[in-house]
Amino acid sequence: MNILSTMNIGSSALSAQSTRLNAISSNLANVNTTETPEGGPYRKKSVVFRSAPAFENELTTREEIQGVRVDRIISDDSDPKRVYDPSHPDAGENGYVEMPNINVVEEMTDMMTAARAYEANVTSIKSSQRMAMKALEIGR
Amino acid sequence: MSGIDPIGQMPGLIQQQTAQNGVREPDGETFAQTLTQAVARTEGLQDKAKQAVQAFNTGESQSLHDTMVAMEKADISLRFMTQVRNKAVDAYKQIMRMQV
């Protein structure tokens, strides 16, 4: 059923956007993290999306119409911010600490776009549901 | 007068005609089969929704939207089945009301 395919596509987008939101909240949580298992300060994470078929054996839907999935999560390798704080345990010899390369304002705007994209996909699922309900009204 | 066929041959002819024009088994799917498949599909979606809710409640799955979408699919599917049932019952009633 095509209506259910719309829901699958929407659902894949919701999963993708919530993974993106996970990455953003991870970035915000680690805005002051100077130590990581791989060494050095935390590095900004971002997600890469890839289109993907979102149907389980749906024959009625065209192949070109695809859902989305998170392909990979990448680390931003740009230089860490250097902050002068000699009292910090991770400070170098010259008193500078390497802080994560995260811009809080950027993360907040990313968070808003992720939330909006999520809302948009919820709206598409809702409208497919409304369409299904309208179709059922034919029989009434 | 020898050209008239004996009446004894007639029943065979009548039988042949009923076989041609009378009720016979349809070649493709019967309505009952279609209905059974539709019910099975609805049941499958209901089952998926149940599993999704269970997985979410036990903390196995973290995805609220997948649970909601599964429930919504089950809901639409059940509503559709109800409509199919209403139609079938309507058709039955129409036939029962028929003047004989």
What is the b/e burial string over A45-56, where b = at least 16 CB atoms within 10 angstroms of the residue's CB?
bebebeeebbbe
pLDDT, tens only, A38-60: 888 999 999 999 998 766 555 55
Inter-chain CB proximity A129 and B76 less than 8 Å = yes
Who contacts B15 (Cβ-Cβ below 8 Å, separation ≥6)? none
pLDDT, tens only, B1-33: 556 655 555 555 545 555 555 555 667 778 888
The DSSP string of B25-87 is --SS--HHHHHHHHHHHHHHHHHHHHHHHHHHHTTS---HHHHHHHHHHHHHHHHHHHHHHHH
- List of chain B residues whose C-beta atoms are within 8 Å of the C-beta of residue A125: 69, 72
pTM of the model: 0.76
Are the C-beta atoms of residues A42 and A100 closer than 8 Å to each other? yes
Nearest chain A residue to B79 by CA distance is: A136
Q: Collect the ranges in chain A with pLDDT lower than 70.
A: 1-2, 54-62
- List of chain A residues whose C-beta atoms are within 8 Å of the C-beta of residue B69: 7-8, 10-11, 14, 125
The verdict on B72 touching A (C-beta cutoff 8 Å) is: yes
Distance in Å, alpha carbon of B79 to nearest chain A alpha carbon: 8
Are the C-beta atoms of residues A11 and A125 closer than 8 Å to each other? yes
| ipTM of the complex in this document | 0.75
The verdict on B78 touching A (C-beta cutoff 8 Å) is: no
